[in-house]
Each structure stands twice: as C-alpha cells, then as structure tokens.
Amino acid sequence: MQTLDDQINTIERALGERMIEHALVIVRSWLNELGENNPYEQAAERIRKTYEELFAEWLSVGTEDTDIRLNRLTGETYQLVDAVYAALRVKRGMSPDMHGFNPDQPQSVMHYFANCVLFRDKDFEWLRDICNDEARSATALMAVGALAKNMRECFNIDAFLTLIEGMNAANDMVADQCMASVFMLLIHYDIRIDFFEQLQEAFLEAFTAQEDEGDHAFEVLCAIISSTRRPDGEQAGKVTFNQLPEELQELIEKTGMKGQMSTITAWLPESEQEYVQGLVELLPDTWLYEIIVDENPVRASFIAQLYLSIGRMDLLWDNLDVAERWLVKQLRGGSAGPMDYINYAHCLLLRGDRMMAYEYYRQARQLCKGPKEFFNLFRPDRRALVDHGIPVEQIYLLEDRLINQ
C-alpha cells in the first residue's frame, strides 16, 4: 500500500501529464477517509464529469480548444488535490488544527506559518501589511521564510500570490526575501506553472513593475545559485550573523535559529543546502529560467559560468569551448577544486583525448578524501556523458580504474 508521500508523488507525475483520471483514483480514497458530507465531494464529481465530457469530445473532434480546457481542468484538479491533502493531514494529525497566532510573539508567528495548512484570508492580509511595515521587518522575514518552507509540502495558491505581491514590498530586505522564496517555489513547482494562469500573470506583473528589465531579479537568482556548496566545501554569498540588522539578530536569538543561519538572501539553514542544490539542477529547464534568463544572451553566458563556479557543467555540455577556457583559467590559477578537474576531464573525453581525460580524472580522485566523495561528484554526470556520445562501457572502465587509486 502506498504511503501518503508516494500517493502525492504519483499524483504529481500523473497531473504533470494531464492524466486526471489516474489522480482522481487516489483523491477518491482520500475522500472516503475524510468521511461523508466532506466539502470536496461535489468538486471531485464535477471534475470527473467534465473530464469524461472532454474525453468524449476528443474522440469525436479534438480541437485546440479541447487542449486549453484540459489544461484548465488539470489546474482545478491540482487545487482540489491540495485542499483535500491539507484536510487529510489535519485529520491524521500530521498538521496541527490551528486557529490563529499571536502577532506580537515571533515564535507564535513562525510556528503558525510553518505548520498551518488551512490558512484564512485574514492571515494573508496580515502578512501583506507587515511586509510593508518597516518597523516589523524582522517578523515579516520570519513569516515569509516559514510560509515558503510550508508551501513546499502543502501548495497554496493564495499564499503564493501573497509572496509574489511581497516581491515589491516597501521594505527592500523583505522584498528580496519574498523574491527568493517565490523563485525557489517556482522552480520546485515548475511542472504546475502552465496550469495556473493567475500565478503566471501575477508574477509577470510583479516582475515588470520593478522597471529595471529584470536586473535585480537576475541578481537574486544568481545569489540563490551561489549559495549552494562549492566542491571545496566553501559557500558563496554567505552572510554572518553579526552582519544582520540588530533587530533581526535579537529575533533570531529569541527563536533559537542562530546556529541555523546560512544566507540572508535565501534565508536557508545549512540543512537546506541539498534542497537548493536540487533546485539549481532543475533551473535551466524551468519557466522561471525562460522568463529571467533565456532571452538575454549576456545573462545566459553569465549564469553558465556561474554554474561552472559551483562545479556544474549543466549549461555548457554543448559549448565546450567556453567551458574549457574557464576551466583552464581555474586550473592555472591554483584555485581549482576536484569538480573543476572532473569537468575539464569531461571536455577532454568528449574531444576524444582519453589519455589526458583519465589523467585529470585521476588528479580529481587524489584531491578527494576517498572513492565515495569522488563518485558522488562524478556519477551525476554519467547520463550527460552518454547523451553526448561516450559509450557507457567506457564510463564503467574509467570508474573501475579510478575506484582504487
């Protein structure tokens, strides 16, 4: 029997391919668990009937309008799934049944926005107000960070719209925090974005309202990428506790978060590094990347080299000349880490110079503490090497020779 996490993953995959009926099978089991007369039965039945009508229409005519309506129905199904999932979490005791918070107590604010899954309109009204209140910026930062993390588990379109609105808050620090949170959620939920027109419209409106052609948004996006761990264990863009405003230092002390602070731009504790690394891997294929980077060759070039600076080749597999020039400079400058040696070896291997490629792989292996560390860096690139023409047998041969260096 599938766990709740497995069921959610199944639904996400199904709706990403507009397989509404497959998702509704799981939703039906959730509704049965919630019991009779729950508020979601009619919505589920309406979606099911509409889907049957669309399928029948597709069998007979199948117009472009059918596809548009199917996309909209998929978005409605996502919203139903989110609402039922939230109610089920409360019923199972996985999320507390909350009814408000004390706005004057930071711990209460953080606990509420981090754990509540059944928000009320006035919760978002309060958050909008404090995002524009200079005197309460520290509380706003805490609430925004807590809400964004909560939304990774329980999607809420009203919460998302509130964070998007906060991108243009009067307080610059709060606006940056909202922007970073929105960016990470857009990457996290990229597969859904096409089914939520109101999110697209709200984001584009907030984005264009900044009147700087997206320069500041691009800086924030780069800060998120730079915040991921470098191969040598250092972090870019790190802000120390003592560099924060005094009021924020006091609030962090009170809430016990001092030991968890990493970077103020993305408001991430150390435990979030793996999560952000996963987002960085997804970014080039997302709607957000297309909006901020894709149409601007200068930004595309900069972000490609930024990826190299954190030890990734994601955006340069098809542009080896650029990658090689940057990597050679790193290797000559003496600041290269093991991932730089691995990436340069990739370039040599793709050019057919197996002997030199092996030599640089070997040097990378020697810089690592052991085989596990080396293969954690090397193996994620297996698929890219195969996709670019390296037979998988040759990759196995290389790994076999490197494992006991």
pLDDT, tens digit (0-9, with 9 covering 90-100), for 268-285: 556 677 788 889 989 999
Confidence of residue 233 (pLDDT cuts 50, 70, 90): very low
Q: What is the pLDDT of residue 36?
A: 84
pLDDT of residue 270: 60
pLDDT at 245: 45
In degrees, to the nearest 5, what angle opens at C-alpha 357 toward C-alphas 356 and 360?
85
Per-residue pLDDT at 344: 95
Residue 310, pLDDT above cutoff 90 = no
Give the mean model confidence (pLDDT) for residues 396-403. Answer: 90
Average pLDDT, integer, range 6-35: 94
Q: Is the pLDDT at 232 greater than 50, yes or no? A: no
In angstroms, rounded to a whole number, what is the distance separating the alpha carbons of residues 304 and 289? 12
Question: Domain-by-domain residue ranges, the chain?
Answer: 4-91, 106-278, 316-402
pLDDT in tens, 381-393: 999 999 999 999 9
Question: What number of other Cβ atoms are within 10 A of residue 39's Cβ?
Answer: 10
pLDDT at 348 over 90: yes
Q: How confident is the model at residue 171 (pLDDT cuts 50, 70, 90)?
A: confident
- Residue 57: what pLDDT? 87
Of residues 324 and 295, the one with the higher pLDDT is 324
Three-state SS sequence of 265-276: CCCECHHHHHHH
Position 402 pLDDT exceeds 50: yes
pTM for the complete prediction? 0.83
Task: Please compute the mean of the pLDDT values over residues 36-44 and round it to a whole number.
Answer: 91
Burial 165-196, CB ≥16 within 10 A → b, else e: bbbbbebebbbbbbbbbbbbbbbbbbbbbebb
Per-residue pLDDT reduced to its tens digit, 122-137: 999 999 999 998 888 8
pLDDT reported for residue 396: 93
Give residue 244's pLDDT band: very low, low, confident or very high (50, 70, 90). Answer: very low
d(CA 49, CA 46): 5
DSSP label at 136? G
Q: What local confidence, expressed as pLDDT, does residue 250 receive?
A: 55
Q: Does residue 253 carry a pLDDT above 70?
A: no
